[in-house]
């Protein structure tokens, strides 16, 4: 397959970027999207050009590093999928692709398609710790936890912090991410003690980092590769009272 790629190139946050058009041939249908970018970079190296910088780590849909907007969709158009899980056979009818980084002032561009998401780390750090003893794992039945609560906590904890919710939100809000991090502890007895203070601190940190507020556009749940539910935002608001 042959693709025309319009890829955002930007040297740094202080330099204006723009789309640059590339053509790539002989792309196998079973090639992943990131492997296709690898193939393009090999082509650029042979031509003596600068490689396209993009972020990745596990390439298994776990780490959340592969943060690309493809044809206007964070992680592409496919539901519950990260960019690294996309394959070029899914674009057999879309031979012209626009690839760009997350668009949010709180995610400044490092270079090309890579953005600085350390603001998420600072939000998590602001939540503090749980006041439980560390050490060897306790007997599973020492603390009884309702099945529904444990399932909801697990689902919230599946957030990989990729930032797709921010990229798709018209307000660049991180509410879904913050709500997931608050919920997965607040739903369990071990995290319930500090739940109010944790929620207040994390929301303040989110605001300090420059993220917008939630205005119920609800695009975030659809864009989330792990399907984090909007119910977490409702729970976060209830905790705050």
Q: What is the pLDDT of residues 202-229, one digit of tens each?
A: 999 999 999 999 999 999 999 999 999 9
Please list, in sequence order, all residues whose beta carbon lies within 8 angstroms of the beta carbon of residue 237, skipping any fewer than 6 positions away: none
**106 occurs within a structural domain:** no
Alpha-carbon separation of residue 65 from 26, 37, 73 (angstroms): 27, 15, 16
Give me the helices (H) in 107-215, please. 118-126, 147-157, 164-168, 175-186, 189-192, 195-208
For residues 22-49, b (16+ Cβ closer than 10 Å) or e, as one string? Answer: bebeebeeebbbbbbbbbbbeeeeeeee
Does 122 lie in the same domain as 79?
Answer: no
Note whether 76 and 87 are within 8 A (CB): no
Q: pLDDT tens digit string along 149-207?
A: 999 999 999 999 999 999 999 999 999 999 999 999 999 998 988 999 999 999 999 99
pLDDT at residue number 129: 87
Q: Are residues 28 and 125 in the same domain?
A: no
CATH number of the domain encompassing residue 137: 1.10.1060.10
- What's the chain's length in residues? 241
Q: Which helix (H) or strand (E) holds 87?
A: none
Total-model pTM: 0.93
pLDDT at 32 over 90: yes
> Does 194 reside within a domain?
yes
- Please give the pLDDT value at position 149: 93
What is the spatial distance between Cα 132 and Cα 230, in angstroms, rounded to a whole number? 28
| Tally of CB atoms within 10 A around 110 | 17
pLDDT at 137 over 80: no
pLDDT band for 133, please (50, 70, 90 cuts).
confident
Cα distance between residue 231 and residue 209, in whole Å: 24
Give the structural domain span for 47. Answer: 3-100
Domain end point (choices 73, 100, 127): 100
Q: Does one domain contain both 158 and 236? A: yes
Query: Residue 70's pLDDT is what?
Result: 98
Q: Is residue 160 in some structural domain?
A: yes
pLDDT at 141: 79
- Residue 117 CB contacts under 8 Å (≥ 6 apart), including other chains: 67, 102, 107, 161, 163
Same domain for 127 and 234 = yes
Nearest to 182 by CA among 159, 199, 200, 207: 199
Please count the structural domains in the chain. Answer: 2
Contact 202, 161 (CB under 8 A): no
Same domain, 226 and 185: yes
């Amino acid at each position: 397959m042959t693709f025309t790629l319009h890829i955002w190139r930007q040297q740094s946050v202080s330099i204006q970027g723009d789309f640059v058009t590339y053509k790539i041939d002989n792309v196998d249908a079973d090639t992943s999207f990131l492997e296709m970018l690898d193939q393009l970079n090999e082509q650029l190296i042979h031509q003596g050009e600068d490689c396209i910088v993009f972020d990745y780590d596990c390439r298994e849909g776990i780490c959340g590093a592969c943060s690309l907007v493809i044809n206007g969709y964070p992680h592409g158009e496919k539901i519950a999928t990260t960019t690294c899980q996309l394959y070029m056979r899914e674009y057999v009818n879309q031979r012209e692709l626009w690839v760009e980084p997350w668009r949010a002032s709180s995610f400044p561009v490092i270079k090309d398609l890579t953005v600085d998401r350390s603001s998420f780390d600072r939000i998590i750090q602001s939540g503090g710790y749980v006041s439980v003893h560390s050490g060897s794992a306790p007997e599973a039945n020492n603390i009884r936890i309702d099945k529904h609560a444990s399932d909801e906590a697990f689902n919230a904890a599946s957030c990989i912090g990729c930032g797709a919710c921010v990229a798709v939100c018209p307000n660049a809000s991180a509410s879904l991410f913050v709500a997931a991090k608050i919920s997965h502890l607040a739903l369990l007895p071990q995290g319930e003690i500090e739940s109010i203070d944790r929620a207040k601190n994390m929301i303040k940190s989110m605001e300090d980092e420059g993220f917008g507020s939630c205005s119920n556009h609800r695009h975030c749940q659809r864009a989330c590769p792990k399907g984090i539910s909007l119910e977490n935002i409702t729970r976060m608001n209830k905790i705050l009272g």
